[in-house]
Amino acid sequence: MALYAGIDCGTQGTKVVIVDGTSGTIVGQGSAPHEMISDSSGRREQLTEWWIEALLLAFRQAIDSASIDPAAIVALSVSGQQHGFVALDEQGEVLHAVKLWCDTSTKRENDVLLAGLGGIKGSLQKLGLMVAAGYTASKILWFKQQHPQLWARLKTVLLPHDYLNFWLTGERVAEFGDASGSGLFDIRQRCWDRDAVALIDDSGLLWNALPRLINAEESVGYLRPEVAALLGLQPNVRVASGGGDNMMAAIGTGNIRPGIVTMSLGTSGTLFAYADRPVVSHSEAIAGFCSSSNGWLPLICTMNVTSASTSVQRLLQQDVAGFNQALAATEPGAAGVMMLPFFNGERVPQLPAAKASLHNLDSDNFTGANLCRAVVESATYGLRYGLDLFQQQGISTSEIRLTGGGARSACWRQIVADVMNCPVVCLAEKETAALGAAIQAMWCDNLAAQPDLLASEELTRLCQRFVRLDEETRVMPDPQRQRQYADLYAGYLNLLQKEYPEVKL
């Protein structure tokens, strides 16, 4: 029996799943939390040693929970939070705490880079996406300016999952999917972009520090003997390329062909699809990343989903069950109550300074239940706005696969189906990024053993076998409610543009 491990190093913690390569079942799981360094400047950092400690703990938990012989694990793969910046010197020592995707302290540096690229239009033309403050590029410029002595020692720039691959194998490489979120990468040509790099450093130091790029199905190498001993594994365990967490979640939800959209109802909202050609939009809202399945992964992120519903929940002093009960007791449209749910500003549409607001209140409709309905509907409208942007790019949607905490609400799932006018279903396995990493490890291992296999066909076969839908959660759009929501969504867009005329519909 061959076993495969998937490691997901996220912002809040590291999760590990161990998958039986014959049955496709998850036989072991583990998790461990991460700390974070933060302050009012927008600084959000972590130490790489925290990731290693969490990985070792989560891996041990997964093995112990599985009651397996660790020698049966033949390959593993790493999913990591995107956009972070890990700086290494020649000896492989980390030069500075890792700035994370959610670090906003380098906005000024990003503004400089964006201007150098020719603004939003120039960035889209040159890179295929708009370089954003959360991306790696502005963090590198900040590091150069703030720490010149450390900059002089810089030998390699890695993303978080690349660093874990380096710790596991000693190899300094990157793969196309995660690299495409760095702000230094041309998503159409699938290569590092010299002009973007030169905006930060034209001496050659940074260009030479960029790691070699490998394909999604390629092996990084094998475990270093000392790491194998720490994990309790054999040193001949293969380490697959891995990728960013969204790229691995795409594999873990079977989102590797056109028509499927993965939608996360988490603290923020994410939706992404598969494309077999680059998606370069006129709108900066779409991040046209490469996928980790040798295609492309157009992605949109909104900032207010369960973070918004939790704010209402706290106000009403409800638990999750109480919130869902109130939600189910209301009708579409919340008796006229409308909300713009921008408690955290908004990314799509780009309204970073926006504030949440309530509209159309009267003495009859101002109830707790209607507030619950209004916040869920408005958060869902925000994701519908993103889906509309996809459709404008010719990205079709035949099924939405839901993840995240909000997906556990049957009522919210139905609202998504009705607002999007599309079938909705959840996944049997909730840790989709870790599962995607395990599937990618199988893919890499199988292709290495049988070079005559077609890479795309083998990944399709593995996803069909190992990605399981929870059919009990499947909902179809109700024709009557769908028509209601078409009108309600139009009203939401009118309100949005009235309050924020800069939004282009």
Q: Which residues form the catalytic set?
A: 245
Q: Any idea what the Cα angle at residue 207 is, between residues 204 and 211, rounded to 5°?
A: 145
Number of other CB atoms surrounding residue 281 within 10 Å:
20
Q: Cis link prior to 349 (omega < 30° from 0)?
A: yes
Helix, strand, coil % (nearest 5) of the chain?
40, 25, 35
Distances from the Cα of 444 to the Cα of 138, 267, 382, angstroms: 33, 32, 37
Burial 325-340 (b: 16+ CB within 10 A, else e): ebbeebebbbbebbbb
Distance CA 299, CA 285 (A): 8
- DSSP code per residue over 77-139: EEEE-TT-BEEE-TTS-B-SPEEPTT--TTHHHHHHHHHHTTHHHHHHHHHSS---TTSHHHH
Does 83 carry a binding-site annotation?
yes
Give me the sign of the Cα torsion angle 304, 335, 401, 296: negative
Distance CA 385, CA 108 (A): 28
Distance CA 55, CA 251 (A): 21
Decide: 157 and 166 in contact? Cβ < 8 Å. Answer: no
- List, in order, residues 6 or more apart from 91 with CB less than 8 Å away: none
Does 82 carry a binding-site annotation?
yes
Decide: 83 and 185 in contact? Cβ < 8 Å. Answer: no
The token pair at 372 is 């619950």
Decide: 18 and 71 in contact? Cβ < 8 Å. Answer: no
Which of 459, 392, 387, 470 shows the shortest CA–CA distance to 426?
A: 470
Distances from the Cα of 302 to the Cα of 61, 153, 286, 416, angstroms: 34, 38, 11, 15
Distance CA 267, CA 168 (A): 31
Helix locations, 356-405, DSSP H = 368-392
Which of 473, 448, 474, 446 shows the shortest CA–CA distance to 460?
A: 446
Residue set of the binding site for substrate: 82-83
Which residue ranges make up the annotated binding site? 82-83
